[in-house]
């Protein structure tokens, strides 16, 4: 008889999230409980999970090599909790959806977070598939949260179809891998592939198909087509969440999947991944040029950023992992800050760029903070985005991946253009409409709290580098 308790003891945060999932789905049916403040409970739950996660130590191989918890997974899990908490704040102050659905929303979010945690910890392909689905299915529903909006439902439907397609391709690739190696554990797969198969067509097909499912989560080209539609139609806080968290989870899965490769396989994998990275950043930044909707623009910007982050994955070494982790908190701050700002500047859910003309006149502080987030996204010093990009460029440079650096350079320059034209619209152009004054100070505080660390980290990033030091090894 297999004793699961010792294994579960190493997954305290997962347990908390699972209980939360049950609580939010079932609790509503129990008469008295419904009156409890759902938001406060959810945030408390996240805090508890984060505390438990922070107190864990050591590396543990759980459930027959299905799940592995270590410093890598713990650090990323903490980031998921932070993002979720921030998004809950955004949800609370957004007027795009009904308040009475909070219980379901938090249930879905719990499930999604749980899925992301398993994506980060999975060390077995089956676990990876389950985790990806655990993230995907709540995402489909979250995109359609706004039930009165037909566009939301349509986007969600497209998302589902696209997701099923990507999952199908991934399962196909996994069957190849299983056929070639007889195993689904990451380490065994790479050992089984050995050195003979490197360079054969089936090697590329198997790995490429398997990569499809992960690319879908990361929104890497060519699995990015769902992204603009879903982002545009989803309620903005959900867009912000989707543009950050599942993307990061997908990257962690990639990093763990490729971490055990044999030295002889290294070059071919690096080349494969760098091609994906190049295509992703170039497509993301060029496609953003012609967007007229600010949410679509940010969607393409997030695709380009996925490409930048893929640079750190493609080098397949400890420095790369550190650089990726270093960039992510910065990316979270700048992306969430930008989304929060546009939630509050938009009127009647009109996200056309031209609707933001001259916003600086009525909301100087909010637009200033937005400008910091945007310039940081563009990678302009002294904001933190520059330092983050610098580390990514550095690891690629050390690995000698010059074409990728060239592509990243071009993409950065191109993206600068659309970020700055966004700022031009808000700051230089004449006011097109009157902006209603903000009902509450919270959005300004929220965006400023995103912008200030960006300035601080841009000047003094040592603490973050030291924190990121822990993800170098899986220990």
Partner 1 sequence: MISMIPLVPILPLVGALIIGLFGKRIQATIGEFATGVLGCAMPGLAALISFGSFFELIARPATDRIIVSHLAPWVSVADFQVEWAFRYDPLSAMMLMIITGIGTLIHVYSMGYMHEDPSYWRFFSYINLFLGAMLLLVLGDNLLIMFLGWEGVGLCSYLLIGFWFNNPDYAYAGRKAFIVNRIGDLGFLTGMFTLILFSAANFEVVTLSFGELQGRMDTLAQYTLWGFPVLEVAAFCFFVGAIGKSAQIPLYVWLPDAMAGPTPVSALIHAATMVTAGVYMIARMYFMYSLAHFTLEFIAIIAALTCFFSATIGMAQFDIKKVLAYSTVSQLGYMFLAMGVGAYSAGTFHLLTHAAFKAALFMGSGSVIIAMHHEQDMRKMGGLLKKMPITGWAFIFATLAIMGFPGTSGFFSKDEILEKAFEESVWLWLVGFIVAGMTSFYMWRAVFMTFFGEFKGDHHTWEHCHEQPKRTVVPIAILAALALSLGFLNVPDFMGGDYSFSRYLSPVVKNLEEAQVHGMPDSIDGEQHAPVHAEEHGDLLIEVGLMVGSVTWTLLTAFLAYYLYLVNPKAREALMSRAGPQAVFKVLNNKYYVDEFYDLVVVGPLKKCYAFMGDFDKYVVDGAVNLAGYVGRGLGILAGFLDQHIVDGAVNEVAWASQTTGKGFSLLQSGRIQALVGATLVFFAAVLTVWIVYL
Binding site for partner 1 (CB under 8 A): 150, 153-154, 157-158, 161-162, 165, 169, 199, 201, 204-205, 208, 212, 221-223, 225-226, 268, 271-272, 275-276, 279, 286, 289-290, 394, 460, 462, 465
Contact 24, 103 (CB under 8 A): yes
Q: How far is the CB of 190 from partner 1 (least distance, A)?
A: 17
Q: How far is the CB of 158 from partner 1 (least distance, A)?
A: 5
Report the first-to-last Cα separation within the chain, whole angstroms. 29
3-state secondary structure of 372: helix
Classify residue 353 by its DSSP letter. G
CA dist 356 and 366 (Å) reads 12
Classify residue 34 by its DSSP letter. G
Contact 183, 139 (CB under 8 A): no
Q: Name the token pair of 40.
A: 């406060």
Q: How far is the CB of 353 from partner 1 (least distance, A)?
A: 18
Question: Which CB atom, from 271 or from 292, has the smaller least distance to partner 1?
Answer: 271
Classify residue 223 by its DSSP letter. T
CA dist 43 and 22 (Å) reads 16
Question: Which CB atom, from 23 or from 258, has the smaller least distance to partner 1?
Answer: 258
Q: How far is the CB of 165 from partner 1 (least distance, A)?
A: 5
Contact 351, 293 (CB under 8 A): yes
Q: Within a 10 A sphere around the Cβ of 149, how many other Cβ atoms?
A: 17
Question: Which CB atom, from 48 or from 157, has the smaller least distance to partner 1?
Answer: 157
Q: How far is the CB of 231 from partner 1 (least distance, A)?
A: 14
Name 185's bridge partners.
124
Q: How far is the CB of 290 from partner 1 (least distance, A)?
A: 7
Total residue length of the chain? 475
Alpha-helical (H) ranges within 428-461 are 442-459
Contact 353, 422 (CB under 8 A): yes
Question: Which CB atom, from 104 or from 154, has the smaller least distance to partner 1?
Answer: 154
Contact 443, 93 (CB under 8 A): yes
Question: Which CB atom, from 117 or from 141, has the smaller least distance to partner 1?
Answer: 141
Question: Which CB atom, from 390 or from 474, has the smaller least distance to partner 1?
Answer: 390
Q: How far is the CB of 256 from partner 1 (least distance, A)?
A: 22
Question: Which CB atom, from 406 or from 432, has the smaller least distance to partner 1?
Answer: 406
């Amino acid at each position: 008889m297999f004793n699961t308790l010792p294994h579960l003891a190493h997954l305290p945060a997962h347990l908390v999230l699972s209980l939360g999932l049950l609580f939010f789905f079932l609790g509503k049916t129990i008469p008295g409980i419904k009156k409890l403040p759902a938001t406060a409970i959810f945030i408390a739950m996240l805090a508890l999970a984060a505390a438990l996660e922070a107190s864990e130590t050591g590396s543990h191989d759980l459930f027959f090599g299905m799940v592995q918890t270590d410093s890598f997974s713990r650090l990323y899990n903490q980031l998921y909790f932070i993002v979720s908490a921030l998004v809950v704040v955004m949800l609370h102050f957004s007027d795009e959806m009904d308040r009475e659905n909070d219980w379901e929303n938090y249930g879905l979010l719990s499930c999604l977070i749980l899925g992301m945690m398993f994506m980060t910890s999975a060390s077995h392909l089956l676990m990876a598939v389950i985790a990806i689905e655990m993230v995907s299915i709540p995402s489909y529903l979250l995109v359609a949260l706004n039930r009165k909006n037909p566009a939301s439902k349509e986007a969600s439907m497209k998302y589902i179809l696209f997701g099923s397609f990507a999952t199908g391709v991934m399962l196909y690739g996994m069957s190849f891998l299983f056929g070639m190696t007889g195993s689904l554990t990451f380490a065994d797969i790479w050992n089984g592939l050995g050195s003979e198969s490197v360079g054969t067509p089936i090697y590329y097909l198997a790995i490429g198909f398997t990569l499809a499912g992960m690319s879908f989560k990361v929104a890497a080209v060519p699995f990015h087509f769902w992204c603009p539609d879903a982002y545009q139609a989803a309620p903005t806080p959900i867009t912000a969440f989707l543009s950050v968290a599942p993307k990061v989870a997908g990257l962690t899965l990639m990093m763990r999947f490729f971490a055990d490769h044999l030295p002889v396989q290294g070059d071919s994998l690096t080349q494969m991944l760098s091609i994906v990275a190049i295509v992703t950043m170039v497509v993301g930044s060029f496609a953003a040029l012609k967007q007229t909707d600010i949410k679509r623009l940010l969607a393409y910007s997030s695709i380009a950023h996925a490409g930048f982050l893929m640079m750190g994955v493609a080098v397949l070494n400890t420095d790369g992992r550190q650089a990726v982790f270093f960039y992510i908190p910065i990316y979270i701050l700048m992306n969430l800050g930008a989304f929060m700002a546009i939630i509050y500047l938009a009127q009647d859910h009109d996200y056309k760029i031209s609707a933001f003309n001259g916003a600086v006149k009525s909301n100087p502080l909010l637009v200033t903070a937005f400008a910091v987030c945007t310039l940081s996204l563009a990678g302009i010093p002294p904001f933190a985005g520059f330092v983050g990009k610098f580390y990514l460029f550095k690891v690629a440079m050390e690995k000698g991946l010059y074409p990728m650096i060239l592509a990243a350079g071009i993409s950065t320059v191109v993206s600068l253009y659309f970020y700055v034209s966004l700022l031009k619209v808000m700051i230089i152009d004449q006011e097109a409409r009157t902006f209603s004054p903000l009902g509450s100070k919270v959005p300004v505080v929220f965006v400023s709290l995103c912008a200030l660390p960006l300035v601080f980290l841009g000047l003094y990033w040592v603490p973050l580098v030291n924190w990121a030091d822990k993800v170098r090894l899986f220990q």
